[in-house]
Every structure is written in C-alpha cells, then in structure tokens.
Amino acid sequence: MAEVSSISRVGRSEPFELQVARGQIAFHKTNFKFGFNPDIDDALETVWAEGGLYSYLSAATILKVSSSSTADDEGSTGAETVQLYGLDADYNEINEIVTLDGQTAVNTTNEFLRINRMIIRSAGSGESNAGVIYAGTGTVTSGVPANKYATIAIGDGQTLMALWTVPAGYTAYLFQTDISAACTTSNKLLNVRIVARPFGEVFQVKDKFGMGVGGETVTQLYQYPLKFEEKTDLEVRAIGDAGSANIQVSAGLDILYIKNEIPTY
C-alpha cells in the first residue's frame, strides 16, 4: 500500500517536523538519541547502560556480538537476532543483522568505526534479551568481551547510549536536550555536560547543567540549534558529588541531520 500523501502537497498546512519524520523532506533525517546510566558517583561517566567513560574505536574493525546468557540464541527463549547501526571506516552509515549464539561471539560482516545503536529484532518466548547483549572486541569470557562498544541491558531490547557520531556528508543540528536524575539519597548534586569532538580535535563542552537530585528534569530548547559538522562525536557525560551518590541519570538528544550536497544522478 502506498504511503498517504502529505496534506501540505495539496495546499494545506502540516508541521515540518511531521513531514521529516514521514520521510517526505528529501535529504533530512531525524535521530532521537537517548541513554541511561544506573549508577553515577564522583567520577565522570558517559550516560550509557554499561557505565564508565565511553572509549571510541580508533579504526574500523570487525565486532564480536555475544550475550551474557546462553538463552540469547536462535531457537531459544531469549533474543535471536540483533541489528547493529553505525559507521564504516569512511564515516558512512551502515547496518547489519547478526544471529546470536548465546555466549559464543559472532563476528559482524562489516567493519565498524562507530557503533551508534543496537536493536533486538527477534526473540523466543521470553520476547526480549535474557542477558546483556554486547558488541565489542578482544577476548570474550562467558559472553562478555574485553572491550565494549555497545550493550543492551537485560530486557531493554535496544541500546541506551547518549552518544552519536555525525555521518560523513551530513551536518547535524541539536534542537533539544532532556536530562533527568533520581537518587534514593537526598541533597545530592549532579553535573551534566554535552560534549562534542569535531573531527581531528578534542572534546569540548557545548552545554552544562548543574542539578539537585530528587527526580529533577531539565529540558533545554535551543532557539538557534547547535550545529555539528560531519564526523563529529557527540556525547552526554555526568558526574555526581560523592563516591556513594548512586545517581540514576537519563539523557535525550533531539537531532536533525541534513545532507550537505544534493546528489546528482
């Protein structure tokens, strides 16, 4: 069945954002990048499910995909297939589907320089991943690789990682940032940073929030969206004020990215 045409094509009004989401504005793409970190203390961490400060691949490489549970296996009760989204050696967007084999690592066909997201595409009777799903490199022990570049927490069905790299040939615009934090202990403080690393440079703070922790949420709208050139690494990081802060942090980035040049055919 053909997709219903936008009403704006017959002279009526329809929001630009909806048209982009429907794929009706050529060379424009959206990306809601969101992450969660369950336990931030007094060391700077990336907002992603694995915790700690994220480490980037220095060269495109085959990734090993595995699970901490033997149930994440084709024909078993857990996750059966997972789709990886990322960038190749030239920063072009790539993706592929991998069939899981429990704690035994399965190699990707593509070489990834960046891994931006993983999504469970099929599962057995458990309807989700029974263990933590990993994409990484190095020695894999009981399904856990030595170097982790993407993880899906048990039952989440997809990665929760507030980091993303602008693909080659595109410019990205950050329209909104959402941060929320919660803690069982009162009087805790949290510092959150939006950082960006332009290609060939170092990470730079682009926005910064100080938050009292108690179920607080901060929404930052950018009237003039923040602009990021191709191949820029974009990330949300946070740090608490105590070694036993135990702060849960979630972050979301609303991004529009637009092709720099219109292809000629």
Task: Name which CATH class applies to 7-54+163-259.
Answer: mainly beta
Report strand pairing: 93-99 vs 133-141.
unpaired
For 186-197, the three-class secondary structure string (H helix, E strand, C coil) is CCEEEEEEEEEE
pLDDT one-digit tens code per residue, 125-152: 999 999 999 999 999 999 999 999 999 9
> What residues have CB less than 8 Å from 41, skipping those under 6 apart?
240, 242, 243, 244, 245, 246, 247
* CA dist., res. 133 & res. 151, Å (int): 5
Place of tokens 């009760």: 77
What whole-number percentage of the chain has pLDDT above 70? 94
What's the chain's length in residues? 265
Indicate the pLDDT class of residue 258, thresholds 50, 70 and 90: very high
pLDDT score at 73 = 97
Q: Within its chain, how far is the Cα of 151 from the centroid?
A: 10
pLDDT value, residue 9: 60
- pLDDT of 264 strictly over 80: no
- Which residue in 122, 117, 140, 136 sits closest to 78, CA to CA? 122
Per-residue tokens: 121: 């595409």
Selection from 221, 215, 149, 155 nearest residue 188 by Cα: 215
- Over the stretch 64-86, which tens digit does the pLDDT of each residue have? 999 999 999 999 999 999 999 99
Helix (H) or strand (E) holding 17: helix 16-21
Instruction: Characterize the bridge pairing of strands 188-197 and 170-182.
Output: unpaired
Tens digits of per-residue pLDDT, 173-227?
Answer: 999 999 999 887 767 888 999 999 999 999 999 999 988 777 678 999 999 999 9
State the chain's mean pLDDT as an integer: 93
Domain boundaries, the chain: 7-54+163-259, 61-152
Tens of pLDDT, residue by residue over 20-46, are 888 888 899 999 999 999 999 999 999
pLDDT value at position 13? 73
Q: Is the pLDDT of residue 11 over 70?
A: no
Label residue 263 by pLDDT band (50, 70, 90).
confident
Q: How far apart are CA 50 and CA 64, in angstroms?
A: 16
Type of residue found at 147: N
Per residue in 240-252, pLDDT (tens digit) is 987 787 899 999 9
